[in-house]
Chain A
Amino acid sequence: MCLAFPATIIKLDGPNATVEFHNVKRDIRVDLIGDCQIGDHVLVHAGFAINKLDEEGARETMETWTELIEIMEKEDKKLKNDQSPE
C-alpha cells in the first residue's frame, strides 16, 4: 500500500500542485517537501509528494554501482582463474 511513483511538477499553487507521469496528470499536495519548483521531479505517495529526486544523490548511487561492478568483475575473473586448471 505504499507504492510511490516518480512524477514531474507542472503546476504549483501553494501547497497544491499538479504532476505529470507518463502523460497522466494528477493533483497532489507538496506540504511534505518544502521548497519546490515547476519542473522538479518528485516521488508521489497517497496524493502527496514525499520527496524530491535529488540529481546529486542519483549520480552518487550510480557511481557506487560502477565501482561495485568493477570490484565484482575482478573477483569474478579471479574466481574463474582459480577454478580453471590451466
Chain B
Amino acid sequence: MEKDQLIKYSELLKNYSLKRPLNIMEVCGTHTVAFFHTGVKDIFPEGLNLIDGPGCPVCVTANGYLDRAIQIQKEHEVVLATFGDMIKVPASYTSLQKLKSEGVRIEIVYSPMDALEIAKKEKDIEIVFLSVGFETTIPTEAVTLKKAIEENVNNFSILTGNKLTPPAVDALLTLGEVKIDGFILPGHVSIITGSDNWQFLPKKHSKPSVISGFEPKDLIMGTLRLVQLIENGEIEIDNLYKEVVTEEGNRLALGFIEELFDVTDANWRGIGVIPGSGLKLKDKFSLYDAEKKFPVTMPEEVENKSCRCGEILRGLITPPECPLFGTVCTPREPVGACMVSFEGSCSAYYKYRK
C-alpha cells in the first residue's frame, strides 16, 4: 500500500464524527498490541472506545492448569516442554521460570514438533508438552500428537489447556456486564474457524463485526468499516481479510482437531467455566493425555487477590485502573498473567504508556 494512501485513510479515521459514542471490542491479543504499536489507537475519533477482549491464550489460562503441570513435574519427574510465553506466568505458588532457575529442566520450544523431536531423541525421559492456545495453534498441536501416535512415541504426552474463542465471546455477551456495539474479530483464529463460526454474533446477539488483519491499513479500515456497520444498523459480518479467511475456514486443520479432540467445558481466568469452550483428548488416546497418564494430588488453587486480570479480560476495567499497574506489577516482575504475555493488555498498556 502506498504511503500517501495510508495517510489518507488515517485522516478519514481521525476526522470521523460519530453519531454517538461507541464501544468496540477487539477479541485478539495481537490486535491489542497492533492497535498500540501502529499508533492507530491514537487516531481514534472522539467517542470511539476500544475494549480489549479475552484474546490471549496465556492470559486466560487459569492458575489450576499450570499448578497441574508443575505438580506433574514434581511427582513424576517429567520434562515439561512449553511455548516461551508460558514460562513467566505466575501459578498459585511458583512459576516455570522459578523452577527453571532452581535447576529443573524445562524445554522452551517454538513448535510443538520440537517437543516431539526431543522425546524421540531422548527415550529415557518423559516429555509433557503444555498444549495451550486458541484455534490458530490447536491444529499444530493436533498434527504433532497424531505423529506421536503414528510413530508410537510413548514417552510423549500433552496437557491440554486449549480454548475455543467463539464460545468465550458468546459468554461475555451473555454475561452482559459490558456494553459492546461491535467486534473486531481475530484474524488468525478466523483462518482456522472460518467466518461462519462467528455468525452467532449478528444472529444471536445482533452485533455487527469485521474480520481484519494486522497491518495498519487493516486496522484502520477494519475500524472504519465496523463503525459504518454499527451506524447504518447493518447487522452482519464483513470479512476484510479475504486473502486468508474463508467462510468455512481451514477444513484440513479443523479435521485434525476433530480427529483427536472432543469439545469440553473450560475454565477461563476471570470469566470462569464456559460450556463447550475447551478441548480434551479423545478417550482412545489416553496414553498421550498427561492428565490421565500422570495422576497427581492437586494443591489448592489460589489466585492473587490484588491482581485484576479477571476484570480486564472481561472488559470491565483498563489496566491503569489496577493499583498495582506499573508500580508493583511490571513485565520484569509480573504479578498476573496479563502482564506476562506479549499480547496481554497490561503488558501492552505498560509498553506503550505515555
Q: Which chain A residues have a beta carbon within 8 Å of chain B's beta carbons?
A: 1-4, 28-29, 31-34, 43, 45-48, 50-55, 57-58, 60-61, 64-65, 68-69, 71-73, 76, 79
Query: A46 and B83: CB pair below 8 A?
Result: yes
Query: B140 and A69: CB pair below 8 A?
Result: no
Complex: how many Å from CA A50 to CA B342?
A: 21
| Distance from A22 Cβ to chain B, minimum over Cβ atoms (Å) | 15
User: Which residue of B28, B140, B217 is within 8 Å of A45 (Cβ)?
Assistant: B140
Residues on B with beta carbons closer than 8 Å to the beta carbon of A54: 242-244
* Chain A to chain B: the 3 pairs with minimum beta-carbon distance, closest first: A47-B111, A57-B242, A58-B243
Query: A68 and B224: CB pair below 8 A?
Result: yes
Is B38 part of the contact surface with A, judged by Cβ < 8 Å?
no
Query: A79 and B57: CB pair below 8 A?
Result: no
Query: A46 and B140: CB pair below 8 A?
Result: yes
Query: B240 and A2: CB pair below 8 A?
Result: no
A72 and B192 in contact (CB under 8 A), knowing A1-B133, A46-B112, A61-B243?
no
Query: B9 and A50: CB pair below 8 A?
Result: no
A47 and B110 in contact (CB under 8 A), knowing A2-B134, A32-B252, A65-B221?
yes
Complex: how many Å from CA A68 to CA B212?
A: 14
Complex: how many Å from CA A33 to CA B137?
A: 14
Residues on A with beta carbons closer than 8 Å to the beta carbon of B28: 2
Which B residue sits closest to A41, measured CB to CB? Answer: B243
| Distance from A57 Cβ to chain B, minimum over Cβ atoms (Å) | 4
Query: B111 and A33: CB pair below 8 A?
Result: no
Query: B134 and A58: CB pair below 8 A?
Result: no
Query: A69 and B113: CB pair below 8 A?
Result: no
| Distance from A20 Cβ to chain B, minimum over Cβ atoms (Å) | 17
**Which bucket holds chain B's interface residue count?**
35 or more
Complex: how many Å from CA A2 to CA B143?
A: 17
User: What would 23 A/B residue contacts be, using CB atoms closer than 8 Å?
Assistant: A1-B56, A1-B83, A1-B341, A2-B57, A2-B188, A29-B143, A31-B256, A32-B140, A45-B137, A46-B83, A46-B112, A46-B133, A47-B111, A47-B112, A50-B192, A50-B253, A51-B244, A54-B242, A57-B242, A61-B243, A71-B228, A73-B12, A79-B17
User: Which residue of B17, B188, B244, B252 is within 8 Å of A34 (Cβ)?
Assistant: B252
Query: A46 and B188: CB pair below 8 A?
Result: no
User: Which residue of B12, B134, B136, B139 is within 8 Å of A69 (Cβ)?
Assistant: B12
| Distance from A82 Cβ to chain B, minimum over Cβ atoms (Å) | 10
User: Which residue of B8, B30, B139, B245 is within 8 Å of A3 (Cβ)?
Assistant: B30
Which A residue sits closest to B251, measured CB to CB? Answer: A34
Complex: how many Å from CA A76 to CA B140?
A: 45
User: Which residue of A28, A29, A50, A73 is within 8 Å of B136 (Cβ)?
Assistant: A50
Complex: how many Å from CA A31 to CA B116?
A: 16
User: Which residue of A28, A46, A61 is within 8 Å of B137 (Cβ)?
Assistant: A46
Query: B188 and A45: CB pair below 8 A?
Result: yes
A2 and B189 in contact (CB under 8 A), knowing A32-B143, A45-B140, A53-B243?
yes
Residues on A with beta carbons closer than 8 Å to the beta carbon of B245: 57
Q: 18 other contacts beyond A32-B252, A46-B111, with CB at 8 A cut-off?
A: A1-B58, A1-B137, A2-B134, A2-B343, A31-B252, A45-B137, A47-B110, A47-B112, A47-B140, A48-B111, A50-B191, A51-B250, A57-B244, A57-B246, A58-B243, A61-B241, A64-B242, A71-B228
Residues on A with beta carbons closer than 8 Å to the beta carbon of B140: 32, 45-48, 50
Query: A1 and B224: CB pair below 8 A?
Result: no
Complex: how many Å from CA A59 to CA B105?
A: 48
Is B225 part of the contact surface with A, judged by Cβ < 8 Å?
yes
Residues on A with beta carbons closer than 8 Å to the beta carbon of B83: 1, 46
Residues on B with beta carbons closer than 8 Å to the beta carbon of A55: 243
Is B311 part of the contact surface with A, judged by Cβ < 8 Å?
no
| Distance from A78 Cβ to chain B, minimum over Cβ atoms (Å) | 11
Query: A61 and B240: CB pair below 8 A?
Result: yes
Complex: how many Å from CA A46 to CA B85?
A: 12
User: Which residue of B17, B136, B225, B253 is within 8 Å of A2 (Cβ)?
Assistant: B136
